[in-house]
Amino acid sequence: MTQRHDVVIVGGGLVGASLAIALDRLGIDVGLVEATPGTTMPAVFDQRNLSFAAATVNALTALGVMRKLRAAPGPIRRIHISRQGDFGRVRLEATDYGRDSFGQVVVARDFGEALEARLRELDHVTRYRPARFVALEEGGEGGRRLRLAGEAGEQILDARLLVAADGTRSQLRDALGIGAQEHDYAQTLFVARVRAEHAPDGTAYERFTATGPTALLPRGDRHFGAIHGVPSEQAANVAGLDEAAWLGRLQQAFGWRIGRFLASGERSAYPIARVVAERLTAPRAVLVGNAAQTLHPIGAQGFNLGLRDALTLAELIGQGGDPGADSLLRTYADRRAEDRQRTLAFSDGLARLTANPAPLLRPLRSLGLAAVDVSPTLQAYLVGGAMGFRGDVPALCREVAA
Ligand SMILES: Cc1cc2nc3c(=O)[nH]c(=O)nc-3n(C[C@H](O)[C@H](O)[C@H](O)COP(=O)(O)OP(=O)(O)OC[C@H]3O[C@@H](n4cnc5c(N)ncnc54)[C@H](O)[C@@H]3O)c2cc1C
């Protein structure tokens, strides 16, 4: 039997689940399709440390997700950017901008559990799980028809609006005939929870070396979330290091600002590519999150940007009328353009800071970081990005967190 929904979201990861929660709040009838079985967390909710921008914290608080977190997040009260071999550095203090923090650090697994707890409370969301989007079908008058494969066989859904939230390798994006441009950074990022002589004091560190970036995020559990980028041809070697050698490598890349590195949890590795969809919409269909654009993680922008996709879409649907109308989709694409373009440039610029910097960030190299430290324009640019207030920001991001 065919099931009908106003909106069908394919992908119940970070962005798809958040969108379902935002639409439920507006009383919209939603089908949420996720390939991973209900007994397992989607793989993306792993041990990576997510830095939530202030705009994201505001929105997730309003959506009732932050209060579901079991572990306290780690506030980012200052950001420290440095480059090996460059005596300058940039130090940004949240209090200078009238705020207690620029954002919060949350472990992806904890966030997955919080989203799941919130999803279970919703009235207007039907879950299809495990169910994998397989193909678009003819039919579905006034909407889109799609075929799912699940445990009990195949199923047909009709939607007035179809949302691709199925991640970087979006099958739905392919089925809609939307191409994507890909750039391989030839870099692999290692992520681990580490402990150092000094406990986190609210500082998030970004350190650039000639071979890749290293970031340390202040978690809420007295550990740092370490991210260490290496050229991909070195990835197998780094994966094979024992704990002492791995900590030695981190120490060498990062220096001694937080004292000696003492212990590390398990390491996970992520080969990094930028994947950008050529357009954001097709008739009665729209892309959000990583399906729309996958960024280099070093700027900690991917989910923050994807959430703003989702909330902009929810805001437009909440204005009433046909959720799949061409005019709504045009407005969506227009409203997302500036934030998308600037966030892509920002993340790409940071990623290339190790080698060949993008024009916008060239001053970081040519003048040295000391100059940026006293340049209000560049500082305002960095802070705008860190807090997630760029372009036409959805209203929920502006609500003050309780
Ligand atoms: C190391 C690392 C660190 C990061 N740190 C940050 C950070 O600090 N801040 C930040 O903002 N971002 C960060 N990101 C980026 C962030 O993880 C992504 O932007 C985010 O996961 C994108 O969410 P999404 O929902 O679009 O896609 P995903 O999270 O990938 O979710 C896609 C979902 O779709 C499901 N799916 C896929 N195909 C199908 C199908 N055919 N049918 C049904 N379901 C399907 C998958 O199972 C999955 O659950 C980081 C990324 C990495 C790799």
Ligand 1 atom nearest to 302, measured from its CA: 19
Closest by CA to 336, choosing from 277, 399, 386, is: 277
Across 112-140, b (16+ Cβ under 10 Å) vs e yields bbbbbebbeebebbebbbbbbbeebeeeb
Q: How far apart are CA 307 and CA 74, in angstroms?
A: 20
* Distance between Cα 126 and ligand 1 center (Å): 21
Q: How far apart are CA 11 and CA 286, in angstroms?
A: 13
Residue with tokens 């989910």: 303
- Mutual angle of helices 326-352 and 376-387, in 10-degree steps: 120
CB 300 near ligand 1, within 6 Å: yes
Closest by CA to 2, choosing from 134, 154, 131, 129, is: 154
- For 88, the 3-state DSSP assignment is coil
Q: What percent of the chain has pLDDT over 90?
A: 75
247-272 residue pLDDT tens: 999 999 999 999 999 999 999 999 99
* Distance between Cα 359 and ligand 1 center (Å): 28
* β-strand pairing of 103-107 with 49-53: antiparallel
Which helix (H) or strand (E) is 135 found in, with range?
strand 131-137
| Total residues found in the chain within this entry | 402
CB 51 near ligand 1, within 6 Å: yes
**Is the entire prediction scored with pTM above 0.85?**
yes
Asked if 333 and 44 touch (Cβ cutoff 8 Å), the reply is no
Asked if 221 and 261 touch (Cβ cutoff 8 Å), the reply is no
Mean pLDDT, residues 289-318: 95
Q: Whose CA is nearest to atom 29 of ligand 1?
A: 13
| Per-residue confidence (pLDDT) for residue 358, from 0 to 100 | 47
Q: Whose CA is nearest to atom 30 of ligand 1?
A: 167
Pocket-testing residue among 8, 10, 14, 36, ligand 1, by greatest number of atoms within 8 A of Cβ: 14
Across 25-45, b (16+ Cβ under 10 Å) vs e yields beebbbbbbbbbeeeebbebb
CB 175 near ligand 1, within 6 Å: no
Ligand 1 atom nearest to 50, measured from its CA: 8
Q: Whose CA is nearest to atom 27 of ligand 1?
A: 167
Per DSSP, what are the bridge partners of residue 263? 195
| Per-residue confidence (pLDDT) for residue 254, from 0 to 100 | 93
pLDDT tier at 196, thresholds 50, 70, 90: very high
CB 357 near ligand 1, within 6 Å: no
Give the phi and the psi of residue 162 in degrees, each rounded to 5.
Answer: -110, 130
356-379 residue pLDDT tens: 444 445 455 544 555 556 566 667
* Distance between Cα 381 and ligand 1 center (Å): 26
CB 112 near ligand 1, within 6 Å: no
Ligand 1 atom nearest to 11, measured from its CA: 34
Per DSSP, what are the bridge partners of residue 4? 158
* Distance between Cα 220 and ligand 1 center (Å): 22
More confident residue, 83 or 294: 294
Q: How far apart are CA 119 and CA 63, in angstroms?
A: 11
**Hey, which CATH number is domain 3-74+106-181+275-354, 3.40.50.300, 3.40.50.280, 3.50.50.60, 1.10.3720.10?**
3.50.50.60
Pocket-testing residue among 50, 52, 76, ligand 1, by greatest number of atoms within 8 A of Cβ: 50
* Distance between Cα 34 and ligand 1 center (Å): 12
Q: How far apart are CA 176 and CA 152, in angstroms?
A: 26
| Per-residue confidence (pLDDT) for residue 371, from 0 to 100 | 55
Q: Whose CA is nearest to atom 11 of ligand 1?
A: 303
| Per-residue confidence (pLDDT) for residue 364, from 0 to 100 | 54
Contacts of 316 by beta carbon, 8 Å cutoff, 6+ apart: 328, 331, 332, 335
Contacts of 60 by beta carbon, 8 Å cutoff, 6+ apart: 18, 52, 66, 307
Ligand 1 atom nearest to 290, measured from its CA: 26
Q: Tell me if the bond preceding 73 is cis, omega within 30° of 0.
A: no
Q: How far apart are CA 125 and CA 33, in angstroms?
A: 10
Highest mean pLDDT among 203-217, 274-288, 359-373, 387-401: 274-288
Amino acid at 387: M
Q: Whose CA is nearest to atom 20 of ligand 1?
A: 303
Considering the chain, what is the average pLDDT of its residues?
A: 91
Ligand 1 atom nearest to 44, measured from its CA: 29
Pocket-testing residue among 10, 36, 39, 44, ligand 1, by greatest number of atoms within 8 A of Cβ: 44
